[in-house]
Structure 1
Amino acid sequence: MKILIVDDEKRIIEVLEAYLEREGYEIHSADNGIDALKKAKTIELDLMILDLMLPDISGEEVCRLVRKDSDLPILMLTAKSAEDDRINGIVMGADDYVSKPFSPREVVVRVQAILRRVKKAEKKDSISFNKNKLVIDLIKKEVTANGHLISLTPIEYKLLTNMAMSPGRVYSRLDLLEKIQDEGMYYEGYERSVDTHIKNLRKKMEGDPRQPIFILTVFGMGYKFGGTLDAANSPV
């Protein structure tokens, strides 16, 4: 599997490269954001380890631009340790976050955990949450909520599956809007129009739309999926 390490500190790249190659990963590297974006487009990557503090463009911007084109798993690596910075990293689309100074072995474990989750999701024909209260058939693109098959528009289905694949991850309205556009769907309106689709999703799939358990609002940030993946779907 191919991993891109993006960091302007040569020593960090060398250390992570040594540890990850020992685990059998093929490592590529970049010491700036522009080079990272080029390699993300030209190399079939499985994961990116991304430092937030880069010499040209910020890691947050790199993450945002990568997220416009793909769902490539991203592990953020940074000296920023404040809670707001960590939250911002997740909001930007990171799958996990490690603060410097770090243990290389911890980074390896986190990389393995992320890739394991991705591999499990890709193999599934369907995923279920909250003891089958919500079931998403990834082959038929059908959704069953509380035992009833519900009719979703293509946009609603795409919004739901993107969030459900990463429970707990916060998506801004812009993130969700870009997910729709990346699928080649015609979308008219501003970021706030996402709220309308979320409202419709809740009406269709939540027992009580006023007290949702699946599509949750994160005030000032956006939305996240609050369902609990059933044990049969969980990574071993």
Structure 2
Amino acid sequence: MPRILLIDDDADLGPPLAAYFQRFELTLEQALRPSLGLARLAEGGWDAAILDVMLPEMDGFALCREIRKTSDLPVLMLTARGEVMDRIVGLELGADDYLPKPFEPRELVARLQTVLRRRAPARPEPGAPLRFDGLVIDPVTRSAQRQGQPLELTSTEFDLLHLLAREPGRVFSRDDILNQLRGHEAELYTRAVDIVVSRLRKKLEPLDCIKTLRNAGYALGLARLPHG
């Protein structure tokens, strides 16, 4: 489920918006100050950020500039003014979209979904091997090679690796993983996800490719090779 960080000093905005986002399988969390927002973004595991223009400490434009120094994370900006120049400045600074306040939550969700789709990596052809530096995964033969050597994986371990490899860099929560894999191993439960990840990591050594994002989940930390 995509994780969105709202950076807005209106404490009454986040909770109802988060509840609304849940209906569209989006997780929304809020930071009330830019400094807190930047710290949370630095932890990783986010799929997009929503920035209010009118903020304490620094305005949304300065905040967007700070984010763009280190990240191409999708950014959508909000403002109470809705002036054309604000929109132009925001987009020039690297914002992906812009929405004036007051806004309809449904429009915010729609714009956010559009931005997320636009930024999503192109998916390989169904059944095509997924190739990374030191790792090849073949979904047709349900096999994997690490540095040219075949890996002995259980069905659940292969399914977990394939799940992460289909969208490298995306953070999958334990619940995401359970929802995908429970049918393959009926006794799989939340704690068992950590155990399967641990086993898989050992088999992938010396590759260090499964990243843990605290309180978020797991992601494959490898870039897909061309034509992979």
The corresponding residue for 1:14 is 15
RMSD: 1.6
**Secondary structure of 1:81's partner?**
coil
Q: Which residue matches 1:102? A: 103
- Pairing of 1:142-161 with structure 2 (within 5 A): none
Structure 1 segments unaligned to the other structure (5+ residues): 126-138, 140-236
Query: Is contact 1:6-1:48 (8 Å) kept?
Result: yes
1:88 paired residue number: 89
Q: Which amino acid aligns with 1:37?
A: L
Name the CA distance, whole Å, in 1 between partners of 2:13 and 2:104. Answer: 11
Q: Specify the alignment match of 1:28 in structure 2.
A: 29
From the CA coordinates, give the structure whose radius of gyration is larger.
2
The CA deviation at 1:27 is: 2.1
Question: Is the 2:17–2:28 contact (alpha carbons within 8 Å) kept by the matching residues of 1?
Answer: no
Contact 1:19 1:108 in 2 (8 A): no
TM-score (norm 2): 0.52
Residue by residue over 1:100-158, the C-alpha shift from the partner in whole angstroms, topping out at 9 and shown as x without a partner, is 01001100111111111111xx1167xxxxxxxxxxxxx9xxxxxxxxxxxxxxxxxxx
Moved over 6 A (4+): none
> Matched residue pairs, number?
124
1:49 touches 1:76 (CA, 8 Å); kept in 2?
A: yes
Q: Are the aligned partners of 1:49 and 1:77 in contact in 2 as well (CA < 8 Å)?
A: yes
Structure 2: gaps spanning 5 or more residues? 125-130, 132-228
Letter in 2 for 1:110: R
Contact 1:75 1:111 in 2 (8 A): yes
CA contact (8 A) 1:15 1:104 kept: no
CA distance in 2, matches of 1:54, 1:66: 15
Question: Which residue does the alignment assign to 1:147?
Answer: none
Does the 8 Å CA contact 2:74/2:115 hold for their aligned counterparts?
yes
Q: Is the 8 A contact 2:7 2:34 kept in 1?
A: yes
Tell me how far 1:14 sits from its aligned partner: 2.0
Q: Residue 16 of structure 2 aligns to a residue in which SS? A: helix
Instruction: Give the TM-score normalised by structure 1.
Output: 0.50
Partner Cα separation in structure 2 for residue 46 and residue 28 of structure 1: 12
Q: In the TM superposition, what is the alpha-carbon distance from 1:7 to its structure 2 partner?
A: 0.6
Counterpart check, 1:123 vs 2:122: yes
For the residue of structure 2 that corresponds to 1:97, the secondary structure is: strand
Letter in 2 for 1:44: G
